[in-house]
Chains A and B, each alone.
Chain A
Amino acid sequence: MIEDWKSYEPLLIPDIPNLHKIDVYEENDGYSALRTVLNDQEKWSRTDVTNEVKAANIRGRGGAGFNAGLKWSFMPEPDDRPRYLACNGDESEPGTFKDRNIFEFNPHIFIEGALIAAYAMSVDTIYVYIRGEYIDWVHILEQAVEEAYDRGYLGKDILGKGIDIDLHVTYGAGAYICGEETGMLESLEGKRGYPRVKPPFPAQKGLWGNPTTINNIETLANVPLVINNGAEWYQSIGAEGHNGPVLYGISGHVNKPGVYEYPAGMSVEDLIYEVAGGIRGGKKLKALIPGGTSTPVLRADQLEGVSMDSNSLRDAGSMMGTAGMVVMDEDTDMVDLLWRISHFFHHESCGQCTPCREGTGWLEKVLLKIKNGEGEIKDLDLLLDVTTQMEGRTICALADAAAWPVRHTINRFRDEFEARCKKSVHAVA
């Protein structure tokens, strides 16, 4: 658990006015990591960069927590095919709104990170895919990209060091599934955002069949920090096995909702009561969704001593996800909450896979019935059955993401659900 967080100085989004402007970013040591690498490509060979990032163990901030450097190392040896880095800024999971802050306040750190990643993987083209609802932030990023082109950080012969990398910003039309990495690739190709069957994995066959790596925006923003300060330094921040700074997106019934940057492994208590100013109206904490709505909800009594890192959250019965924390006070109606979450996944299932297409709708409809006081106890068991029938049987993880909240919310708040159900005919008789 992080004790000295109060003295923590933000690294990803330091409190510097106008940092989104390239002059300000450069004045504050911006693009120095890129320069370091490109100026001494002998010392910083592509493999060296990858290894350093691998050693730092930047855990993917898109939700799955995969070691970024390790993922880069899956790219095959360059051949005559184009190679891509696809940056995932789709950020559509309810409770998650942290990449937005990077676009708004420090877009260049992301661009710099993406460039280093591209260099390390011999990528020639970077795509950034941003959810369409973020059109204002798309414009901010586009502005930053233009500046980076002007200053020679992007394009042909970057900084005169013989490296060519292009970056294109594009945005979606409002589909959560286009944040799933292969759904995003389809969408980038101009197709329906239908996630792909894996294998083949994107590193083998990604965009237009070419080697592609997908990383989250925040993941890539961590890269310049690692290059500037070294893997060892990075490892010294945060929790065991889960390092570095994390953008905690805290929403719900707190006094000061927002995005807060602190080391990984912050105590949940500190985040809710200190950082986010405590529960609104002095109410009691009832439950927390720790990392976006697909991560299992935890009851207040399950949160004792829990910190925001993957090990601690796993032990508590949930996951780190995107660190998008949804805080709920004692007045929260868990039936309503779960119905609303299920409504989201029902609405967002792409509909390819039978268990997800049909299961998400079934879950929502039964939950609606229970919410309306028309459910029966057997419906709760049916819901649990349906989640088992969905989980692990689909092309992408949306079905799992839809199943888990239902299973865990019912199991962890069963009384509340039963209380909303009609007494069964037999019980009355």
Chain B
Amino acid sequence: MPEVFIDNERYEFEGDQMALQFILDLGMEVPFFCYHPSMSIPANCRQCMVKAGQYIKDQETGEYELDDDGNRKIRWFPKMQTSCALKLSDGMVIQTQETSEEAERAQKDTLEFLLINHPLDCPICDQAGECPLQIQTYKYGPEGSRFEVKKVHKPKRVQLGPRVTLDAERCINCTRCVRFADEISGSKQLTIVSRGDKNYPMTAPSETFDDPYSLNTVDICPVGALTSTDFRFKARVWEMNQTPSIDITNGKGCNIDLWTRDNEVLRITPRHNSEVNDYWMPDEGRKAFEQFNNNRVSRPSVKLDGDNHSNTSWNNAIETFAEALEAHAPQELLLIGSPHASVEENYAFNKFFNLLGASTAKFIPHLISGYGDDFLITDDQAPNTNGCRLISLEETDSAGIKTAVAEAEVVIILADDLVGREALSADDLSAKYTVSLATNKTLTTRASDLVIPITCVAEHAASYVNVDGRIQRSFPAKETKYTNRRLNLEMSEGRLDRYGTNFDNWVKEEHKIDCLPAWEFLNHLADRLGLEFQYDHSRTIFAELSDQIESLRGVTYERMDDEQGVQLPIEQNEVTQA
């Protein structure tokens, strides 16, 4: 196998590989800015320079030639090489900043150049704390500055599009944003304008950067030049906790991180998963932070006259619900599960009412045909349509559900705004006793007689099956009124916790939602009704499921964590069609 020698160590390699990626894959480091593993390689930042050469081989014997001291002869390339664009070849010798003073020097020089016109406004820059320029300057940069002349001034606070704000002075011209729009999202809305040190990215005149994936440029911008208009100046990164999760705004299930502070989700960023979303996510998914924080159903409520609701105690809610159930025969109950809720919630929900004798829950896929693209936006508006199918809920459509509602006396809806998405109308429900287990206030909760607040994806550990049949799970990222984080294993597992720093204001109650995981609520209801139904944890529910369902055999939370989700043996066409 061909070999390379990096910092005096020998490594074997196969196929076409670039030095930088190879070095990174080995767990070593060379500083870089413009390189991105999913995009073309412009080698323009010139940060990743290494010293490179080639051991000289005897043409005839194929052996390395030796000098008088018995050392292999090296032919150094005349110039420093940018490792991102340096293709490995057999017998190549590479010295990074670890072993070559020249490489170290070249990297320091480039950083000096990058900083001379940079505004150095880290104290007010959103990127500070997660800024490659800041980090690499600390690690590899020069001390102080020799630049004593006037810096270049460029446009600041430019609204590139509805969601992205540009500070051109911070830009280091790496062209990542431009390449993203050219190569990844395909909108081609950005270019670099002007020339030399006046360069900065811009849209064409009168165009706006409204690419549905525009916010990915904020993630990949290696400085604070591109910022999220929503998130700008909201929080310092080191004040936030970062929890892995799943985008629930569509069927793709993009892997994401939820960034929380004070029990509020402040931003959402994509988490790399080459099987699902690579490094990217649609802008829409990032907007979901609002629905986790705002307009939540907090405390159970009952409907008074008209559309007014009044909060009530959990005890009263359980009692009210129980009485309604006791007053009706099981055949009079209609259960509506939800592609917007997790596998575990749907399963527990269905099982609970099955125990009471009700028939299997129905669900209505939430599709908008033509809404999706061939990238990460799907026609499916819900994260778990396939999860509902997986546990064999009864799939129906709007007409089907209207008929079923008409025939029922009590309608119990799990986390689905059926009225809002016009699968049902408020009138359909007006003559029924309607119970909603819901995360957010919607037209459906407004039409419900009893509303039970349940946890959202940001507050519980649960799994979702995406349009491609991949099961992935969430971790609780924010506490509810009832979370005991020290006892709740999931939370400490998921969060890169900064608990204990001055910035972690966990104790603040005001942002905690008064809600329960759906299964937890059903536990209480079961107690009241004397049913054998008790799940201490979503893990228990999932364990039961994986015993029961063929395609979930051997699937566990641990596997989902280790393998970044598990592809289920589900037919593709079965899962993607309506």
Contact = CB atoms under 8 A, between A and B. Distances in A.
Interface of A: 175, 177, 192, 194, 197, 199, 346-355, 357-362, 365-366, 368-369, 382, 385, 389, 392-395
Contacts of B85: 197
Contacts of A348: 195-196
Nearest to A177: B195
Given A382-B146, A392-B80, A346 B46 contact: no
Interface in B75-116: 78-80, 82, 85, 87, 106, 109-110, 112-114, 116
Shortest Cβ-Cβ A-B pairs, 4 listed: A358-B113, A365-B149, A351-B199, A349-B196
Main secondary structure on chain A at its contact with chain B?
helix
Task: Tell which of B78, B80, B109 has the most Cβ of chain A within 10 Å.
Answer: B109
Contacts of B194: 351
B196 A362 contact: no
Contact of B192 (A351, A354, A358): A351
B196 A350 contact: yes
Interface in B19-50: 41-47, 49
Contacts of A353: 44-46
A192 B46 contact: no
Contacts of A355: 46, 109-110, 113
B195 A347 contact: yes
A192 B196 contact: no
Interface residues of B, number: 38
B341 interface: no
Contacts of B191: 192
Contacts of B109: 355, 389, 393
A198 B400 CA distance: 63
A362 B106 contact: no
B197 A395 contact: no
B41 A393 contact: no
B49 A393 contact: yes
Task: Tell which of B44, B116, B117, B196 has the most Cβ of chain A within 10 Å.
Answer: B196
B150 A354 contact: no
B368 interface: no
A116 B172 CA distance: 45
B66 interface: no
A175 B195 contact: yes
B110 A351 contact: no
A361 B149 CA distance: 10
A362 B149 contact: yes
Given A351-B173, A354-B114, A197 B149 contact: no
Contact of B197 (A194, A349, A385, A393): A349
B549 to A, nearest CB: 50
A298 B197 CA distance: 30
Interface of B: 41-47, 49, 78-80, 82, 85, 87, 106, 109-110, 112-114, 116-117, 146-147, 149-150, 152, 172-173, 175, 191-192, 194-199
Contacts of A359: 113
Contact of B116 (A350, A358, A385, A395): A358
A177 B199 CA distance: 14
B196 A357 contact: yes
A360 B196 contact: yes
Given A192-B191, A359-B113, A351 B196 contact: yes
B100 to A, nearest CB: 14
A387 to B, nearest CB: 11
Contacts of B42: 194, 197, 352
Contacts of A177: 195
A362 B199 contact: no
Contact of B173 (A175, A346, A352, A365): A352
Given A347-B195, A351-B196, A389-B109, A362 B43 contact: no
A354 B149 contact: no
A112 B9 CA distance: 56
Contacts of B112: 389
Given A359-B113, A385-B146, A393-B79, 15 more contacts: A175-B195, A194-B42, A199-B87, A351-B192, A352-B44, A354-B44, A355-B110, A368-B149, A382-B146, A389-B109, A392-B79, A393-B49, A393-B80, A393-B109, A395-B43
A96 to B, nearest CB: 20
B116 to A, nearest CB: 5
Given A192-B192, A361-B152, A351 B197 contact: yes
A358 B114 contact: yes
Nearest to A346: B196
B197 A346 contact: yes
B115 to A, nearest CB: 9
A191 to B, nearest CB: 9
Nearest to B146: A382
Task: Tell which of B43, B150, B152 has the most Cβ of chain A within 10 Å.
Answer: B43
A286 B150 CA distance: 33
A349 B198 CA distance: 10
B110 A357 contact: no
B79 A351 contact: no
A394 B113 contact: no
Contacts of B198: 351
Task: Tell which of A175, A347, A358, A394 has the most Cβ of chain B within 10 Å.
Answer: A358
Contact of B149 (A175, A351, A369, A385): A369
Nearest to A360: B196
Nearest to B40: A197
B116 A362 contact: yes
Given A393-B46, A395-B43, A349 B113 contact: no
A194 B153 CA distance: 22
Contacts of B80: 392-393
Task: Tell which of A194, A354, A362, A394 has the most Cβ of chain B within 10 Å.
Answer: A354
13 contacts: A175-B195, A194-B42, A197-B43, A199-B87, A350-B195, A351-B173, A351-B195, A354-B173, A358-B116, A362-B147, A389-B110, A392-B80, A393-B109
Contacts of B146: 382, 385
Contact of A361 (B78, B172, B173, B197): B197
A353 to B, nearest CB: 5
A399 B409 CA distance: 80
A351 B46 CA distance: 12
Nearest to B195: A351
Task: Tell which of A175, A350, A357 has the most Cβ of chain B within 10 Å.
Answer: A357
A393 B114 contact: no
A190 to B, nearest CB: 12
Contacts of A394: 46
A192 B178 CA distance: 12
A388 B317 CA distance: 76
A354 B195 contact: no
B38 to A, nearest CB: 18
A363 to B, nearest CB: 10
A175 to B, nearest CB: 7
A361 B139 CA distance: 26
